[in-house]
Amino acid sequence: MKARSIFLKLIIFIGLILVFSLEITPAVQLGNEIDADHPNIQYVGRINFEESKAPLIYWPGTIIVAKFEGTSLKLKLNDLSGQNFYNIIIDDNDAHPFVLDCQKGEAVYPIASDLEDTVHKIEIFRRTETDTGPTIFRGFILDSGKNLVEPPARYKRRIEFYGNSITSGMGNECSENDDQNDESKKNNYLAYGAITARNLKAEYVCISKSGIGILISWFPLTMPEFYDRENPSNPNSRWDFSKWMPDVVVINLFQNDSWLLHNLYPIPGSEQIIEAYLNFIRKLRDKYSEAHMFCTLGSMDATRPDRPWSGYVKSAVQKMRHDYKDDKIYCRIFPFKGTDGHPTVKEHREMADQLTLYIKKILNW
């Protein structure tokens, strides 16, 4: 009986060792965790860094870039709504991005595996708008023993866009009968602003919101009240414009005003409309004294030849050049695309080609 008791104790002891080994194995396999404040992570956009290991991503077009060693990568996120989508681009292969459909809450997302054991580049690009709420970026998980290396050099040029649903890329991946509010069909990466920035090899920032106008929006908030926020949902949040100074600023607004103006009382006349636009671009000029400003409109029906809105934009630009001696402001109207709904990806590319050529011509880029 004594021998049997000793044998049972030995079996239990061995079992405990095996259980303990199994419990620590996942930690060994987990890999090298990289926090969001790692110095080799590159950020572009209006991001809240109050908690350095948990930056908040709000705006469409926000970009995170890093270069990593090894064969695999996982992404750590906390999406507060579970409605956001991101393009994940490995080694610049943006023709076939990994489209990340975020779940609500904390999650680890396997992004890449079985890669060649070398250095790779990852770009994380927010497709969706501000209305779907923020995402907290927590960092990466790499192969054990692997790390981030120095990120690619930043572009020397910088371009910032202010706009509405067109600039956001709303519905640009929709087929004819799709719901244009479907978050999975909004892709800011393939909106004309982001394409133009890549054409010009410029860092890209996008401040846009579907439905917004200068005088009136589809909600009680206009771009002059919205443009300077860090957190788009907090009216008391203010962005420090000195953190990122663009070389070029592009404004594409008035589409929603053109639809909703009759809801204002009294209805503003042409002089008041031009003055409202002028006041907004002067706000931007106060922030960016040296930037080249391109005032655009289109390519939806506000630019139909029989409508006055293109003329309002041109008049405001002329006033800036003549009355305020501003020789760094220009006007480029996108022709009416001639189809219903928001611009498709094809139409966005056409807009980007037009704007790219115009900026290159003006600035000799």
Instruction: Please write the tens of the pLDDT for every residue from 20-53.
Output: 333 333 333 469 999 999 999 999 999 999 999 9
How are beta strands 157-163 and 248-252 bridged, if at all? Answer: parallel
Asked whether residue 25 is domain-assigned, the answer is no
pLDDT at 178: 78
- Does 184 map to a domain? yes
User: Is the model's pLDDT at 7 over the cut of 80?
Assistant: no
Helix (H, G, I), strand (E, B) or coil at 213: coil
149, 175, 198: which is the final residue of a domain? 149
Q: What is the pLDDT of residue 176?
A: 76
Inside any domain, residue 300: yes
- Residues 317, 249: Cα–Cα separation, whole Å: 14
| Number of domains observed in the structure of the chain | 2
pLDDT (average), residues 59-65? 98
pLDDT in tens, 112-136: 999 999 999 999 999 999 999 999 9
Compute the average pLDDT of residues 314-330: 98
Tell me if 15 is assigned to some domain.
Answer: no
11: phi > 0 → left, psi -120 to 50 → alpha, else beta; which?
A: alpha
Neighbours of 228 (CB within 10 A): 16
339 and 231 assigned to the same domain: yes
CATH of the domain at 134: 2.60.120.260
Mean pLDDT of all residues belonging to the chain? 92
Q: Which residue range forms the structural domain that includes residue 284?
A: 157-363
Q: Tokens 């890449």: give the residue.
A: 112
Instruction: Specify if 198 maps to a domain.
Output: yes
Dump pLDDT digits (tens) for 68-116: 999 999 999 999 999 999 999 999 999 999 999 999 999 999 999 999 9
Co-location of 192 and 142 in the same domain: no
Does residue 197 surpass a pLDDT of 90? yes
Do the domain assignments include residue 17? no
Q: Of 118, 149, 180, which residue sits at a domain end?
A: 149
Q: Quick one: 270 exposed, middle or buried, by C-beta within 10 A (0-12, 13-18, 19+)?
A: exposed
287-324 residues labelled b (16+ CB within 10 A) or e (exposed): bbeebbbbbbbbbbbbbeeeeebbebbebbbebbeeee
CB count in 10 Å sphere of residue 142: 21
145 and 162 housed in the same domain: no
Of 127, 149, 171, the position where a domain reaches its end is: 149
Do 296 and 329 belong together in one domain? yes
- The answer to whether position 8 is within a domain reads no
Residue type, 236: N
Contact by Cβ (8 Å): 155, 163:
no
Predicted model pTM:
0.91
Answer yes or no: do 336 and 199 share one domain: yes
198 and 118 together in one domain: no
Indicate whether 297 and 168 sit together in one domain. Answer: yes
Residue 160 has pLDDT above 90, yes or no: yes
- CA–CA dist 249, 329 (Å, integer): 9
